[in-house]
Each structure stands twice: as structure tokens, then as C-alpha cells.
Amino acid sequence: MPFKKLRIEITNRVGYILLDAGSRFNKLSITTIRELKRALTQIEEDAAVNVIVLSGYPGESFAAGADIGQMVHFAPGDAFHFAELGQSLFEQIESSAKPVIGALNGITMGGGCDLAMACDIRIATEGLRIGHTGAKLGIITGFCGTHKLPRIVGKNYAREIFMTSEIYGAAEALHMGLVDRVYCETEFWPEVCSFAERIASHPLSALSAAKRLINAAEDTDLRTGCLLEREMATHINIHL
């Protein structure tokens, strides 16, 4: 089945999922989320790919949040199912055996910010506009953002971002730790590609184990985490 909201490109062991919803801004509608899940599954199964890049390049937005026209009529039950759908996508990204890089090419709002936070690493253009506008819409996010954001930038910045509903720029996002690297417009895409290709040149077994270990570090006590590291390192390093 063809995709309507995105396209897939595969180059040098990197699988690019490029959101292109057809309109000016990529919205995380139910259809887009379902397509993202399907595209991820397809790339995860592709043995020629070691690293996944998620982006809205060369468009204006990475993802501009949910479709408000769709959401305005939600009953609590619809909202519950929508949150479940979104959360299942983010869980799929986090539990994927392949590293996922978020290449934030522009507007990254609301659910789009949550999508970016589900990625392992975030690279942004100088033109980044990122924020969480739930409080302006009378809601909180339902896509794990209330827990991912404090874990990434700390509770205090998270509360500020949620409370102001304001749009933040690349320099602020970098200071807070919300993005890991920032490049100017002309360097952005070449840097994303070369960074992704460099990671993709490493053995996938080691990359997967590293991803699982770092994810586990968040919710595991140190001793259990170290035990897990010992087991994984033993298993991976035996092939040296």
C-alpha cells in the first residue's frame, strides 16, 4: 500500500522517513500516525538499513502537532484512543532495534515535539521553532510529552514550556538540552546525512544494545543497569 503522508528513501544504510502530508505543515493526524507506524515497521525489517532518520525535510515543518479540526470534536473516549495510538508509535520508535535520529527541519510543535522526543538524538536547523501549545488549546499532551520533556530538559524547563505555550528557537532549545546539535540552513541536511551514515557504518548489534542500555538507564537502579550492561557487553564483545 502506498504512503500518502510520507515517503521513504534508503541511501548508504540509512533509511529516511520524510513526512510530507501535502499541505504546508505536517500534522500528526490519525492517518499520518498510522503511516508512520507502517513505515517504521517496513524499515525496521529492511536488513539494508542500520539507522533511521525521521524528518520533514525539505518542507517547512518537522511536524506541527495534531489536527485541531479533527480533535475539536473528540469525546474523552476518542481522546483516549488517540493518545493510545500516538503512544504506541513512540513506543515503537523507542523499542526499535535501530537508532532513530530526529532531523528537525523547522516547525516542531505539540505532538511534533513529542515525536521529536521519542527519537534517540535530535539535530535541528537554526530555523527551528519548537514548543508545546496544549495550555493554549485547553489540554495537556497525550503523547508522552509530560514525561519525556522533564526527563530531557528537567522539570523546571518542562513546566515553563508547558505553561507559556510559547515557541522557542534553536539556541534556547540547545541551551535546555532539547536538541543535541544545531546547524545553519545550508549545512543542516548534509550534516544530518553524514552523521547518520557515520552511525550506520557501525555494527547494528552494538548500536541496538547501546540504545537498549541507555533507555534502560532511565528507569532502572544503577546496580540492575550495570548487571544488564555486563550481560549485553559480554554478549556483544565476545565477537571481538
Task: Please answer whether residues 207 and 99 qualify as being in contact, where contact means their C-beta atoms are separated by less than 8 angstroms.
Answer: yes
CB of 235 to another protein, least distance (A): 24
Residue 76: asked if its preceding bond is cis (omega within 30°), the reply is no
Using DSSP, state whether 65 is helix, strand or coil: coil
Q: How many CA atoms lie within 13 A of 240 on its CB side?
A: 7
CB of 134 to another protein, least distance (A): 6
Among residues 136 and 198, whose Cβ is nearest to another protein?
136
The 8-class DSSP code of residue 12 comes to T
- Residues in contact with another protein by CB under 8 A are 68-69, 71-72, 74-80, 83-84, 87, 134-142, 144-151, 154-160, 162-166, 176-177, 218-219
CB of 192 to another protein, least distance (A): 27
Taking the C-alpha atoms of residue 68 and residue 79, their distance in angstroms, rounded to an integer, is 12
CB of 74 to another protein, least distance (A): 5
Among residues 150 and 169, whose Cβ is nearest to another protein?
150
CB of 20 to another protein, least distance (A): 24
Among residues 12 and 165, whose Cβ is nearest to another protein?
165
- In this structure, which amino acid lies at residue 124? A
Among residues 1 and 72, whose Cβ is nearest to another protein?
72
The 8-class DSSP code of residue 228 comes to H
Taking the C-alpha atoms of residue 215 and residue 72, their distance in angstroms, rounded to an integer, is 34
Among residues 61 and 125, whose Cβ is nearest to another protein?
61
